[in-house]
Amino acid sequence: MNFLSKKSYIAWYFVIPVVFIHLFVIGIPSILSLALCLTDWSGLGKINYVGFENFIELFDDRYFKKAIFHNILWTIIFLTVPVCIALMCAYLLTGIKRGQMFYRLAFFFPYMLASVVNCQIWKYLFHPIHGLGGFFESIGIEALASSPFTTKETSLYAAAFVDGWHFWGFLVVIYLTGMYQVDNHLYEAADIEGASKFQKFRYITLPMIRPIFIFSLMIIIIWSVPVFDYVYILTGGGPAYSSEVVANYLYTHAFVRFNVGYASAVGTLMFIYVIFIVGIFGLLRKLGWEI
Amino acid sequence: MIKTIISFVSAIILSVSFSAFSKTKVTWSMESNADRDPIFLEKLQNAYNSAQDKYELEIQFEPNETRIESLRTSMLAGMGPDIVETPGPSYVKEYQEAGMLENLDSYAAEFGWKDKLIPWAYSSGVFDGSLYAIPKTHESMVMLYNKTLFEENGWKVPTTLEELEDVAGKIKAKGMDVYTYGSSGWQPTHEHLVGIYLNNYAGPQAVYEAITGEREWTDPVFVEALELLKKHMVDEGWWSGSLENYYAIGWDDFHAQFATRGAAMMTIGTWTFQATSLGIGQSGDEWGWAPLPSLSSNSGGPNFMIAIGTTMSVNAAAKNKDGAIDVLNWIMSNKDVVIDIASDFQFGEFVVPLLLDDSDIPSTISPQVTSYLNEYARITGEGNYGYCTWTFWPAEPGVHIWKDMEVVWAGDISVEDFMYDHQKMWDKARKKNETLPVPLRD
Amino acid sequence: MLVSNFRRKEAIPNHFILILFALLAVLPILVLFFNSIKPFSEFGLNPLGPPSEIRLQNFPDAWIAGEYTKIFFNSAKLVFGSVLLCLAVSLLAGFSLAKLNPKGSTVIAIYLLVGISIPAQLYILPLFLLWKELSLLNTHVGLIIIYSALNAPFATFLIRSYMIRLPDELFDAAKLDGANTFQIFFRIALPLSWPVILTAGLIIGLAVWNEFLFALTFITDPNFKPMATILFSFQARFENNYALQSAAAIMMVAPIAVLFMLFQRRFISGLTSGGLKE
């Protein structure tokens, strides 16, 4: 599709600014940090080379494994629940005339709030004394009396729920952008042939928004790797590591436990994982997927 | 353009004319708190600045959550504040190891700091034989109870495990929580309870031996202590009714619960004194305090656990080293300033461990706090003191003791396994020379 | 025209489902709003419902305690600068990846995607040291550069996935008319892409408005602090004063909400009258 110019270096001029600024701010500092994975640096004092000791310890670390498992779970949750709801709502939104503005604002509102604020709201709502907890207790539903953020069976899901609650409105906007690109003649033609709502969605909308849809899935997979804010503020990874995720684990080691070397080893593994995932997407693209 | 020139010129004129008697700035980044900040500004910063005309002290307040990190980042970049405030000795150790703190030995000798401070508190700042930190505040753990409530019901303030379990049953029968306390907003809260059970079940002597390496943490006496804590926390739900509620409740919540009879007692550090006096004062009930009950016959009577709240050091890369030293010396030489500020906090904060007499305690502070201060001085003076984890545990085991305690409470690992891991961490810390100063016990 | 993919009578079940989700999204925030106009004393008694007495004093209190005027302009400056810089670099890159397909574009795509996934905790320390060397600490320019870099990969991909759908014929035609690549970018790609420009701008702006980790670390001078850091320290300083916290939170989201509504209006009209149809 190189129809614009025979001189392909022109294409590069367009990409250089973004690569430059990103390398400068994130790329190079990250590589410097990752280099520390073979040391036992505490974050302040002398730097000693320790070989692969950090990695050996990591592969033996049950909480690190737990955190990885939670990240995978988190990714699966986000790939299904918010995506389905957002697709449905965006599609329904394109089919109504009145109240467009209202719905968009309503759906998107949680996304506009800072994570600190959202967490504050839900912590308040689930507070055992003055939130819904007290209410449920007073009407006799003991199971909901204690906060889901502090119950080890539910803490991960509760944190994922709040993050998802804040995130799905964003997906709606993304999908809407794509859906408005769909040519209305296609729908009109389908209407004439008597297609159902779902059929139109399946055979017209979805194929037409495929690039943006695949993109959203990829971005969810990638964003699920460094997930931090909501877990950190709502549960701190607890109780008893029941909601620990990899980025929070890295944070604790780097900033609370004075184990910068170990944290860098965690970072390195995250890095390898993401390259692997992105590689898969790259492969799909090579195989002719338009993504 | 003209404006710029004028302001530029006038700036030069101003700086020239003032340089003859200008003061050099001393910076101090301090933990922020809405109630305390104005008092520190008025009675520390402004008082110091008007007391002398050489230096200009400038305190910057930052919330604790971010302060620890941003301090480390700026210290690494060689641009930290002149006076370095850390949350405790394990942090001092990290900075000292990295050569970022000024050795204070010569100043301590010149100004006689050793004679001004409580001996154990002074020695808490001595690393590798030299002084690097001065405690900004020292503290202990106590048991608070609702005195009015106890008197109404004829309950006896417990001093032993039997009495404690007995009164706990009676409190629960009234539909109240035994203790109110929670870790929301400050996860390390767990270590307060762990410290209480270790010191009051196994006894301070055993804890001392374990800290100094003469005894293993896998010793049955420590395992039993934490089994008892687990029983009270998880099975009996003594703190806020259940483990889940304990995790969900924060500072203001438990003070409100204590004031409104949601619970009869509270296990907490002395930093609570100001908040407690204010909170329960409005409810009409009267509060009392007691040393924590001894939980076994090993513990050897009531003791007070000693702890350093925050510490003050001088940045080795300070822009104004002399100014920083002068501020520290001014604080230690002006007992009345310290007492005045500490009284505003009911001796819950800025209790610089100066040697005080009974007569030094002002009449403005509450009778409960006065009696506590006297008791504390008497009992610790006799050498009956225990050890708080956040002052005597090296960095890694210091995090393990609270963070992984949740795993024990969740039932995921046994207390024995936990203590086995804990001992391993201590061994590692000892090998890497990360242990903290401990005053000699006689 | 927009509604033609459904017959009119189908709109009612649509509304039913949409309202359900709208309530789920908005009700918790309504509680936040109620809390912001509630007297502090009412919290224990009436946690969720509307206040029995409206106390607007919470807003001026939070305004003064948070020095709102100053932090508002600081945040606005950061948002404006970051959106401008980030959009500029992302549009160029997105266009190139979508329509020019430079050799090795896969490498760039992989690099940017990997970049998104690196947790900030990993590189914040070396970045801080670098910023100190460049004297960018405590400056808004320094933060704007960071924010642009943070948000650029996402914006690039978003723009790319939109531009890839633009009909190739338009570009071919321009090419035949003798326009060079830059002219094609400015005259054809940009005007056609402005819905995605708005969306990307909105998302970048929000991310910057709400960001606090970098702001807390890189800005220590209270005169340069943006809004989110104030809210953060607010929560630490007034731990459970929900009234004050809620008022501060409402004031933080208000400007963004207003802006979003304005955006939306133009967004919709731009789409319906835009040049996407042949």
Whether B330 contacts chain A with CB within 8 A: no
The confidence score (pLDDT) of residue A249 equals 92
Percent pLDDT > 70 in chain A is 96
- Looking at the complex, report in whole angstroms how far the Cα of residue C138 sits from the nearest Cα belonging to chain B: 12
Is residue C74 included in any domain, yes or no? yes
Q: Please name the residue of chain C whose CA is at the shortest distance from the CA of residue A111.
A: C206
Is residue A47 included in any domain, yes or no? yes
Asked if B63's CB is within 8 angstroms of C129's CB, the reply is no
Whether C233 contacts chain B with CB within 8 A: yes
The confidence score (pLDDT) of residue C238 equals 62
Extract long-range pairs of B326-329: CB within 8 Å, 24+ residues apart.
B326/B26, B326/B52, B326/B54, B326/B55, B327/B26, B327/B28, B327/B48, B327/B55, B327/B57, B327/B83, B328/B83, B328/B107, B328/B134, B329/B107, B329/B111, B329/B113
Is residue C193 included in any domain, yes or no? yes
Asked if C216's CB is within 8 angstroms of B252's CB, the reply is no
Residue whose pair of structure tokens reads 């670099």 in the numeric block: C89
Is residue A247 included in any domain, yes or no? yes
Selected for mutation to probe chain B from A32, A36, A42 (highest B CB count within 10 Å) is: A42
C10 confidence band (pLDDT: 50, 70, 90): low
The Cβ of residue C272 has, within 10 Å, a number of other Cβ atoms equal to 12
Asked if C2's CB is within 8 angstroms of A97's CB, the reply is yes
Is residue C278 included in any domain, yes or no? no
Q: Please name the residue of chain A whose CA is at the shortest distance from the CA of residue B69.
A: A255
Tell me the torsion sign for CA atoms B150, B155, B159, B165. negative
State the ipTM, two decimals.
0.83
Residues C88 and C46 in one domain: no
Residue closest to B246 by CA, chosen among B300, B287, B298, B186: B186
Angle value at C-alpha B248, between B346 and B368, nearest 5 degrees: 20
Counted residue by residue, chain A has a size of 291
Range of the domain at A262: 32-286
Q: Is the pLDDT of residue B4 over 80?
A: no
* pLDDT higher at A215 or A246: A246
The confidence score (pLDDT) of residue C269 equals 45
Is residue A27 included in any domain, yes or no? no
Residues C197 and C251 in one domain: yes
Q: Looking at C36, C55, C74, which one is the last position of a domain?
A: C55
Q: Are strands B126-127 and B134-135 parallel, antiparallel or unpaired?
A: unpaired
Percent pLDDT > 90 in chain C is 20
Q: Between the CA of residue B284 and those of B143, B149, B235, B259, B279, what are the distances in Å? A: 20, 11, 33, 9, 10
Q: Between the CA of residue A44 and those of B86, C75, C86, what are the distances in Å? A: 14, 32, 34
Q: In this structure, what CATH number is given to the domain that contains residue A254?
A: 1.10.3720.10
Asked if C233's CB is within 8 angstroms of B251's CB, the reply is no
Residues C149 and C23 in one domain: no
How far from the centroid of its chain's Cα atoms is residue B46's Cα?
A: 25
Phi, psi (deg, nearest 5) at residue B414: -85, 160
Tokens of C185: 């970018």
Q: B258 contacts in A (CB within 8 Å)?
A: none
* pLDDT higher at A288 or C202: C202
C276 confidence band (pLDDT: 50, 70, 90): very low
Q: Between the CA of residue B389 and those of A41, B247, B371, what are the distances in Å? A: 24, 20, 25
Q: Between the CA of residue B188 and those of A165, B178, B406, what are the distances in Å? A: 29, 21, 11
pLDDT digits (tens, 9 = 90+) for B247-256: 998 888 888 8
d(CA B416, CA C257): 55
Residue closest to A34 by CA, chosen among A219, A231, A275, A232: A275
Domains of chain B: 20-137+309-356 (3.40.190.10), 140-306+384-431 (3.40.190.10)
Residues C225 and C261 in one domain: yes
Is residue A39 included in any domain, yes or no? yes
Q: Between the CA of residue C237 and those of A283, B280, C102, what are the distances in Å? A: 51, 21, 52
Asked if C4's CB is within 8 angstroms of A184's CB, the reply is yes
Tokens of A98: 């009145």
Q: Is the pLDDT of residue B21 over 60?
A: no
pLDDT digits (tens, 9 = 90+) for A238-273: 799 999 999 999 988 887 777 889 999 999 998 888
- Looking at the complex, report in whole angstroms how far the Cα of residue B261 sits from the nearest Cα belonging to chain C: 14
Residues C244 and C260 in one domain: yes
Q: Is residue B391 a contact partner of residue B179, using CB atoms and an 8 Å limit?
A: no
A183 confidence band (pLDDT: 50, 70, 90): confident
Asked if B256's CB is within 8 angstroms of C236's CB, the reply is no
Whether C245 contacts chain B with CB within 8 A: no
Is residue A291 included in any domain, yes or no? no
Asked if C149's CB is within 8 angstroms of A219's CB, the reply is no
Whether A71 contacts chain B with CB within 8 A: no
Range of the domain at C236: 62-273
Mean predicted confidence (pLDDT) in B6-11: 52
Percent pLDDT > 70 in chain B is 95
Whether B100 contacts chain A with CB within 8 A: yes
The confidence score (pLDDT) of residue C271 equals 42
d(CA C13, CA C19): 10
Is residue C165 included in any domain, yes or no? yes
Total domains present in chain A? 1
Q: C177 contacts in A (CB within 8 Å)?
A: none
> B397 preceded by cis ω (within 30°)?
no
Counted residue by residue, chain C has a size of 278
pLDDT digits (tens, 9 = 90+) for B295-328: 998 777 778 999 998 999 999 999 999 999 999 9
The confidence score (pLDDT) of residue B17 equals 44
Name beta bridge partners: B86: B311
The confidence score (pLDDT) of residue C267 equals 54
The confidence score (pLDDT) of residue B353 equals 92
Residues C43 and C79 in one domain: no
Is residue A13 included in any domain, yes or no? no
Q: Is residue B389 a contact partner of residue B191, using CB atoms and an 8 Å limit?
A: yes
- Looking at the complex, report in whole angstroms how far the Cα of residue A64 sits from the nearest Cα belonging to chain B: 13
The confidence score (pLDDT) of residue C2 equals 46
Asked if C240's CB is within 8 angstroms of B250's CB, the reply is yes
Residue closest to C37 by CA, chosen among C18, C26, C52: C52
pLDDT digits (tens, 9 = 90+) for A144-177: 778 889 999 999 999 999 999 999 988 888 788 7
pLDDT digits (tens, 9 = 90+) for C161-174: 788 878 888 888 88
Total domains present in chain C? 2
The interaxial angle of helices C242-273 and C58-65, nearest 10 deg, is 90
Q: Between the CA of residue B63 and those of A110, B94, B367, B368, what are the distances in Å? A: 26, 21, 31, 30
Asked if A241's CB is within 8 angstroms of B406's CB, the reply is yes
Q: In this structure, what CATH number is given to the domain that contains residue C134?
A: 1.10.3720.10
Task: Identify the three-state secondary structure at position B92.
Answer: helix
Residues C180 and C73 in one domain: yes
Q: Looking at C9, C25, C55, which one is the last position of a domain?
A: C55
For C45-80, the DSSP string reads T-SSS--SS--TTHHHHHHHHTTHHHHHHHHHHHHH
Is residue A2 included in any domain, yes or no? no
The confidence score (pLDDT) of residue C239 equals 60
Is residue A16 included in any domain, yes or no? no
Asked if B69's CB is within 8 angstroms of C236's CB, the reply is no
Residues C24 and C84 in one domain: no
Mean predicted confidence (pLDDT) in C71-87: 94
Q: Is residue A208 a contact partner of residue A143, using CB atoms and an 8 Å limit?
A: no
C9 confidence band (pLDDT: 50, 70, 90): low
- Looking at the complex, report in whole angstroms how far the Cα of residue C6 sits from the nearest Cα belonging to chain A: 5
Phi, psi (deg, nearest 5) at residue B231: -60, -50
Mean pLDDT across chain A, nearest whole number?
85
* pLDDT higher at B434 or C104: B434
Q: Is residue B315 a contact partner of residue B83, using CB atoms and an 8 Å limit?
A: yes
How far from the centroid of its chain's Cα atoms is residue A253's Cα?
A: 22
